[in-house]
Amino acid sequence: MIKGDTEIYGVIGFPVKHSLSPVFQNEAFRSEGINAVYVAFEVKPEDFEEAIRGLRALNIKGVNVTLPYKEAVLKYADITSNDVKVISSANTLKFTSEGIEAYNTDWMGFLRSIKEHTDIKGKNVLVLGAGGASRAILFALQREEANIYLWNRTKSKAQQIAPLFGATVVDMPEDVIHEVDVIVNTTSVGLNENDPPLFNYEKIDEKHVVFDVIYKETELLKTAKLRGAKAIDGLDMLVYQGAESFKIWTGKEPPIKVMKKSVQGI
Ligand X SMILES: NC(=O)c1ccc[n+]([C@@H]2O[C@H](COP(=O)([O-])OP(=O)(O)OC[C@H]3O[C@@H](n4cnc5c(N)ncnc54)[C@H](OP(=O)(O)O)[C@@H]3O)[C@@H](O)[C@H]2O)c1
Residue number with CB closer to ligand X (45 or 99): 45
Q: Which residue is nearest to ligand X (CB)?
A: 131
Dihedral over alpha carbons 213, 79, 21, 9 (to 10 degrees):
-170
- Within 8 A by CB and 6+ apart from 253, the residues are 247
Residue 59 CA to residue 57 CA, distance in Å, equals: 5
Does position 10 bind ligand X by CB under 6 A? no
Provide the minimum distance between the beta carbon of 24 and ligand X in the complex, in angstroms, as a whole number.
12
Neighbours of 243 (CB within 10 A): 24
Phi/psi of residue 3, each to 5°?
A: -130, -175
Cβ neighbours for 135, distance < 8 A, ≥ 6 positions apart: 86, 87, 88, 89, 161, 164, 165
Check residue 213 for interaction with ligand X (CB under 6 A).
yes
Find the helix or strand (DSSP H, E) in which 40 lies. strand 36-42
Check if 222 is active-site: no
**33-41, 160-168, 236-244, 246-254 -> range binding ligand X (CB under 6 A):** 236-244
> Toward ligand X, which CB reaches closer, 97 or 192?
192
CA dist 252 and 180 (Å) reads 38
Residue 19 touching ligand X (CB under 6 A): no
Contacting ligand X within 28-47 (CB under 6 A): none
Please report how close the Cβ of residue 33 comes to ligand X at its closest, in angstroms.
26
Residue 189 touches ligand X, criterion: CB under 6 A: yes
Q: Using the rule CB under 6 A, is 130 a contact of ligand X?
A: yes
Residues 51-110 that bind ligand X (CB under 6 A): 67, 106, 109
Segment interacting with ligand X (CB under 6 A) among 115-123, 165-173, 186-194, 217-225: 186-194
Active site residues: 70
